[in-house]
Structure 1
Amino acid sequence: MSSVEKQTISQPSASLVNAKWDIVISNGIVKTGLGFGAGVLASVLLFKRRSFPVWLGVGFGLGRSYSEGDSIFREAGLRNVKA
């Protein structure tokens, strides 16, 4: 008979997950707000008050915050990427 080895999968603690989510959400709010502000500034100064710089700035802010949030979760071992 062959013995079956049990694989233990460590679960991250809830406090670690909550702390990471707090960082990611606050980072998202800040980056999106900065993108919005830069878009409004560019819209007023350069583009005769058109709306596309605002949406572009918000998009860049959301994209940057998503990228950094993904990095935070990977670094903590909470998200694995299957190749």
Structure 2
Amino acid sequence: MSKPTSSEDILGQKYDRCLADLLVKSGVGFSVGVVASVIFFRRRTWPIALSTGFGAGAAYADCDRSFNPARIPGTRVLPQSEVAALHANKSN
């Protein structure tokens, strides 16, 4: 039997995933911005900033959904009493 995970560990894991996601998505956005800047926009800097911001915004949205599952479209958060009633109905 495994030891239960503490809430601090779960929170730390979520923050770690959010930070890693931010670095990856901002890095990809930065790279796309550099390529677009060189190829299409005569080496202007705004495509780099814009695409990096898009990557950071996508990472922020994913992190927000991780910490607040009620914001995921199509999901419903049930009170504990309803969850217990559903489990009781399934076992009968």
User: Structure 2-normalised TM-score?
Assistant: 0.67
Give the deviation of 1:62 after TM superposition: 0.9
SS for the counterpart of 2:68 is helix
For structure 2, the residue ranges without an aligned partner over 5 or more in a row are 1-5, 70-92
Match of 2:53 among 53, 59, 73: 59
Measured against aligned partners, the alpha-carbon deviations of 1:37-59 in whole angstroms (never above 9, x if no partner) come to 00000000000100010000111
After TM superposition, the runs of 4+ consecutive aligned structure 1 residues lying more than 2 A away are none
* Amino-acid identity (%): 39
CA-to-partner distance for each residue in 1:5-26, whole Å, 9 max, x for gaps? xxxxxxx710000010010000
Partner of 1:29: 23
Note the C-alpha offset of 1:74. 1.3
**1:19 — aligned with what?**
13
TM (normalized to structure 1)? 0.74
| The one of 42, 49, 73 aligned to 2:67 | 73
Say how many residue pairs are matched.
64
Structure 1 unaligned blocks of 5 or more: 1-11, 76-83
